Structure 1
């Protein structure tokens, strides 16, 4: 049975969210592994702790507040480590640090491992800066183990500030005058500094063993299988598609097979994709037609185009012996060998379906498409793309694109073809045009600054900034666009490339980038930016209890609407159901609601209940999931998904807990989507 189009899209969007969470932790993987080792944890324990953090952040939607807060993520991981921390014998740094007391260990790890400032560590540890410095001093002395000389005790408190260059000038002068006259302090400070340098070098050179990644991979695989079984009462094929697509993405996260690669299913007709034809005609790229054959299959690399945004590789797979079409097995059959030559951008890792599939209908033994890799590092001379293919998947005859393969429940049973197809692809990095903007506008009262547009050969990238709320907690916004229009062409949104977070500025602005179709060969006459939707997390908090002495349903006002708590079944008192009626005044789409056990249980508790939603299109028309217009979604016209019912069935430590009756609930905010009917002319400062 094929999964409904709506379910396919929901699954892909869910994959995006989960993949974003994975990317957040991937950027800190080496540090977190070293922190885990320094708590005396083994590989399996660290993998379990990291797994818990990934799914805690994903499931509880805490990412709205945490995804850009590296300090809070590290603190979350260390909090999970505390429960399994134990001293380990040995002379290596992780073993020595594991034998410190908790406050000394955390101060050392946060300052010299994570590189946080004393002020930031003070905030994370919730103690004054002077106490953090004392923890650091004791921790470093513990590592040094009874030095022969300990210097003058009254000056010990200055060591940390002096070496961190944060000491006040008057104290610095007095301290340096004393050191000049005191051989004991000279030697003590020198050995203290040497220990710090060795400690920092340890963290910089830490590595993650391959076996650890395999353990983490196994845990996530098992969790996804569990979630698949849990959701049997839902659209069954949908979760299978999620698992398949997630495995595709997560392989790139946990193995060295490929890094930050995203797979673009852009099929074109008869080798004459319009954009590819423009490349050839303008002298950008050349026809390569590199081939490799094995096991009766020929893979041809047509060409490669590189710019500062991405690196596109156009390919063709031909089965020379059988009447079948083959696709690359991105989970187990593809690797970017020289990934060191490519930028690791963390967030640029997504799945995109091509906009044309006609070219894959004409010949039943040929599949055509393109890979999109990260941009090549600027200082690489004579760049090559070294690709290795080792396994292919046989597509069903009725499938037009590879996306359809991952949207079915049959991928595990599909036939595999093994072999070795290796390529070294020459490529030249093309220059882009940067068009400066500097426009400030408002979208539904949200201050937005349009910074610049990068006109690259393969894509058009808009850099923009959002001024998010200064109050705590602040709202989190995702601004989605429809297109960039010129007089002759509309460059559509790259619909599955979620806006990439770039950086936070000190003035309260946060910068993002969004990709569109290429406008490289177009005249930029009367350019106009068209908006689509504004998605936001509103941090409206509410705590409430179930009072079994009062009648049901019990009503709680929230977000302009109501939450109705129904009476639990007499024979199943642990099952709690809440309804959220649709009303004109209701502001929320979905609610981030947890039981007190989930909120405070540090991963020991989770809800295994169900959720029901209805869908509203831009015109306010309500429709069912199976009626979702997949073609419209591909154009970026996402409907609103509104929760109307949510139930709670508690699990404790992975097992059903029917006797656990949740009576207290915490809401930390809600999601809402606003359809936009707005566009703005782009006023370039340079042309």
Structure 2
């Protein structure tokens, strides 16, 4: 569960405090996350690496957190992805484990990934089945099947035997029965059955033993010590990383100035020698972006191949710079008419990542390209690209290992969209590559321009032109008490009459903040290969704002609900107020037309000003595009990338409150609304001067 003061904390507040606030949050939650990590890894050095990477990723991805789920659940999803990345290296050396729980963790380590994650999230992290299902992107029923399978596997590993002898039709009732959530009629039927069935009695008994072992571990996690100085080591690494980043930035800026002069000379030579190269790649490379890179001699054709189970992956080329390493690939299914894509977060690892790649940034996400002619030509061939971390060396060999491919299931009603999160199918195997790469230099330009967005000062600091991307660094002044900018989204950037589109996933927060009055961000745009800017134009798309507008609503548990109140021009309903352990409060507003707010920022205060021990907030809502068209998130499929400037409106907010540690109920006294978030569409164009 999330402590109230953390879960209701403004994301802007966390951002303004920098990475230190994320470190403090992890420090408060280190016990449960350390135990979660230990179920994947058994090497102390790797555990420090796990926390180190997770803190950086949470800090980097913080601007994308939009409260569709609790903050802890969102962090847990990032933490699990990092666990998967590190645990994929089976060369890890086993170090000392907690003797008290050694056998249990050894058993957990042997489980299949989906079994382990379901068991650990449910019994070690204590996450609800609904949130566990959401995290693992499966239905609740499927999650229960995985939980049953996991406990069954644990039973085998812990010496209870490999199979259940009881009646199979009653297996699905074991978990709900032991957790006392089984429907009453089913409960009566089940109890009558086990009274007469010796095999089911024995099965249920051993099943309960395994569950109690897990719950006992959860209740006694304090016995599973986080080593002394563990978080201090992580903090020291983060501090050293920031020092190295500042030193590298100084070096890269000097290199960029030298490269600018060399580039002018090379472009002159290309007039005489480049014609044949351009003509050759025009006829031999179908991917337009890769063709442009090859024509500019920013990479080389590789044609590295590996095949498994009739699925052939060909690495066509790799383009590396200070922003990322782009790997272009082709996947052919020779057995059936299937198209497969590579997902960086699923079944992809770089064996020598620590040796040749930087951890100062994160790979970019590129959604599947469904509209290109090359991907609509053959039903069994897909051409794509993935982003890997940038190199720390001028050249090297990437040892890439792929163990899972995602099947591209296109929507039958619209071939240009696909079901990304519904009924996902995968092809497993092993494809290994050694990819030679050379890092291409970037050029940095200092900017000197300031404007206002919704009355809030915005300044432009730096433009970086790298071969694979164009990066705009800008700052936002958020000293205004009543209104501040959370995210600023751009439509395009224009240099020398050439426009490049902005990354649709918006701006990213900069780790290092030079001025406490300004919050610094970066936005990625498409590449401007070979351009030397004479003038820069930036067009805005939208801004996501936080408004401070305090209102207190008194809660009376003796009254009947629903009841309504007015806020920000809307009538909001308190649908339910149910006192218990936990206490449940549900508020709703389904009228989104011309609504001032998208999301409310609120908290619950108990009687006599008591704060709850923990508070969990969940929401339901709809996505609305710029033209007012609504998309129900529960009615898949739809392609989020195809929606024009989407906005997410909360329609129902459910608040779950736990009382204090002694088990006393918290009597809610007040609903306190601090403010709200909303999106404003923009179309302003700003001319930015270079220093």
* Superposed pair shares fold, TM > 0.5: yes
Counterparts of 1:257-336 in structure 2, within 5 Å, are 271-328=285-342, 330=344, 333-336=347-350
Matched, 1:643 2:643: no
Q: For residue 386 of structure 2, what is the aligned residue in structure 1?
A: 371
2:617/2:653 contact within 8 Å kept = no
SS in structure 1 of the partner of residue 512 of structure 2: strand
Matched, 1:670 2:676: yes
Matched, 1:449 2:469: no
Matched, 1:386 2:386: no
Give the number of equivalent residue pairs: 472
SS in structure 2 of the partner of residue 504 of structure 1: coil
Change over 3 Å in CA distance of 1:561–1:332 after alignment to 2: closer
Q: For residue 475 of structure 2, what is the aligned residue in structure 1?
A: 465
Matched, 1:361 2:376: yes
1:599/1:666 contact within 8 Å kept = no
SS in structure 2 of the partner of residue 291 of structure 1: strand
2:495/2:535 contact within 8 Å kept = yes
SS in structure 1 of the partner of residue 289 of structure 2: helix
Counterparts of 1:56-71 in structure 2, within 5 Å, are 60=8, 62-69=10-17, 70-71=19-20
Counterparts of 1:179-578 in structure 2, within 5 Å, are 219-220=120-121, 226-227=129-130, 271-328=285-342, 330=344, 333-340=347-354, 341-346=356-361, 348=363, 350=365, 352-354=367-369, 356-377=371-392, 380=393, 382-396=395-409, 404=418, 406-408=420-422, 410-411=423-424, 414=425, 416-419=427-430, 421-469=431-479, 475-486=484-495, 488-506=497-515, 508-521=517-530, 524=533, 527-547=536-556, 556-559=565-568, 561-566=570-575, 576-578=585-587
Q: For residue 684 of structure 1, what is the aligned residue in structure 2?
A: 690
Q: For residue 601 of structure 1, what is the aligned residue in structure 2?
A: 612
Change over 3 Å in CA distance of 1:552–1:315 after alignment to 2: closer
Change over 3 Å in CA distance of 1:653–1:301 after alignment to 2: farther
1:405-457 Cα shifts (integer Å, max 9, x gaps): 5322x12xx353323x2211111111222232111111111111111211111
Q: For residue 24 of structure 1, what is the aligned residue in structure 2?
A: none
1:464/1:512 contact within 8 Å kept = yes
Provide the C-alpha distance between the structure 1 equivalents of 2:368 and 2:535, rounded to a whole number of angstroms: 29
SS in structure 2 of the partner of residue 427 of structure 1: strand
2:370/2:415 contact within 8 Å kept = no
Provide the C-alpha distance between the structure 1 equivalents of 2:501 and 2:534, rounded to a whole number of angstroms: 16
Change over 3 Å in CA distance of 1:330–1:585 after alignment to 2: closer
SS in structure 1 of the partner of residue 294 of structure 2: helix
Q: CA RMSD in A?
A: 5.0
Change over 3 Å in CA distance of 1:395–1:448 after alignment to 2: closer
Q: CA deviation at 1:236?
A: 9.3
Q: CA deviation at 1:515?
A: 0.3
Provide the C-alpha distance between the structure 2 equivalents of 1:401 and 1:384, rounded to a whole number of angstroms: 37
Provide the C-alpha distance between the structure 1 equivalents of 2:624 and 2:379, rounded to a whole number of angstroms: 39
Q: CA deviation at 1:463?
A: 0.8
2:4/2:612 contact within 8 Å kept = no
SS in structure 2 of the partner of residue 284 of structure 1: coil
Provide the C-alpha distance between the structure 2 equivalents of 1:497 and 1:355, rounded to a whole number of angstroms: 21
Provide the C-alpha distance between the structure 2 equivalents of 1:228 and 1:285, rounded to a whole number of angstroms: 44
Q: CA deviation at 1:290?
A: 1.4
SS in structure 2 of the partner of residue 66 of structure 1: helix
1:473-503 Cα shifts (integer Å, max 9, x gaps): 9845211111113565431111125423242
Provide the C-alpha distance between the structure 1 equivalents of 2:555 and 2:474, rounded to a whole number of angstroms: 45
2:601/2:674 contact within 8 Å kept = yes
Q: CA deviation at 1:550?
A: 7.0
Provide the C-alpha distance between the structure 1 equivalents of 2:620 and 2:642, rounded to a whole number of angstroms: 27
SS in structure 1 of the partner of residue 510 of structure 2: strand
Q: CA deviation at 1:673?
A: 1.2
Provide the C-alpha distance between the structure 1 equivalents of 2:353 and 2:421, rounded to a whole number of angstroms: 29
Provide the C-alpha distance between the structure 1 equivalents of 2:502 and 2:635, rounded to a whole number of angstroms: 20
Q: TM-score, normalised by structure 1?
A: 0.57
Change over 3 Å in CA distance of 1:562–1:417 after alignment to 2: closer
Q: For residue 147 of structure 1, what is the aligned residue in structure 2?
A: none
Q: CA deviation at 1:531?
A: 0.3
Provide the C-alpha distance between the structure 1 equivalents of 2:286 and 2:536, rounded to a whole number of angstroms: 27
Provide the C-alpha distance between the structure 1 equivalents of 2:405 and 2:339, rounded to a whole number of angstroms: 10
Provide the C-alpha distance between the structure 1 equivalents of 2:529 and 2:386, rounded to a whole number of angstroms: 20
Q: For residue 170 of structure 2, what is the aligned residue in structure 1?
A: none
1:305-355 Cα shifts (integer Å, max 9, x gaps): 011111101011223344433334655532111111211135556464447
Q: For residue 167 of structure 2, what is the aligned residue in structure 1?
A: none
Provide the C-alpha distance between the structure 2 equivalents of 1:56 and 1:270, rounded to a whole number of angstroms: 59
Provide the C-alpha distance between the structure 2 equivalents of 1:468 and 1:474, rounded to a whole number of angstroms: 8
Provide the C-alpha distance between the structure 1 equivalents of 2:468 and 2:14, rounded to a whole number of angstroms: 33
Unaligned runs of 5+ in 1: 1-51, 86-113, 115-206, 242-267
Q: CA deviation at 1:516?
A: 0.8
Give 1:625's match in structure 2, choosing from 609, 616, 632: 632
1:159-214 Cα shifts (integer Å, max 9, x gaps): xxxxxxxxxxxxxxxxxxxxxxxxxxxxxxxxxxxxxxxxxxxxxxxx99998999
SS in structure 1 of the partner of residue 378 of structure 2: coil
SS in structure 2 of the partner of residue 634 of structure 1: helix
Provide the C-alpha distance between the structure 2 equivalents of 1:602 and 1:392, rounded to a whole number of angstroms: 43
1:475/1:537 contact within 8 Å kept = yes
Unaligned runs of 5+ in 2: 35-54, 56-94, 98-104, 144-281
1:569/1:575 contact within 8 Å kept = yes
Change over 3 Å in CA distance of 1:308–1:569 after alignment to 2: closer
Provide the C-alpha distance between the structure 2 equivalents of 1:240 and 1:438, rounded to a whole number of angstroms: 55
Q: CA deviation at 1:272?
A: 2.0
Change over 3 Å in CA distance of 1:359–1:331 after alignment to 2: same
Change over 3 Å in CA distance of 1:58–1:485 after alignment to 2: farther
Q: TM-score, normalised by structure 2?
A: 0.57
SS in structure 2 of the partner of residue 370 of structure 1: strand
2:7/2:616 contact within 8 Å kept = no
Q: CA deviation at 1:577?
A: 4.1
SS in structure 1 of the partner of residue 438 of structure 2: coil
SS in structure 1 of the partner of residue 129 of structure 2: helix
Provide the C-alpha distance between the structure 2 equivalents of 1:493 and 1:208, rounded to a whole number of angstroms: 48
Change over 3 Å in CA distance of 1:443–1:497 after alignment to 2: closer
SS in structure 2 of the partner of residue 275 of structure 1: helix
Q: CA deviation at 1:466?
A: 1.0
2:599/2:676 contact within 8 Å kept = yes
Provide the C-alpha distance between the structure 2 equivalents of 1:557 and 1:208, rounded to a whole number of angstroms: 59
Q: CA deviation at 1:385?
A: 1.5
Q: CA deviation at 1:302?
A: 0.6
Q: CA deviation at 1:75?
A: 4.1
1:126-178 Cα shifts (integer Å, max 9, x gaps): xxxxxxxxxxxxxxxxxxxxxxxxxxxxxxxxxxxxxxxxxxxxxxxxxxxxx
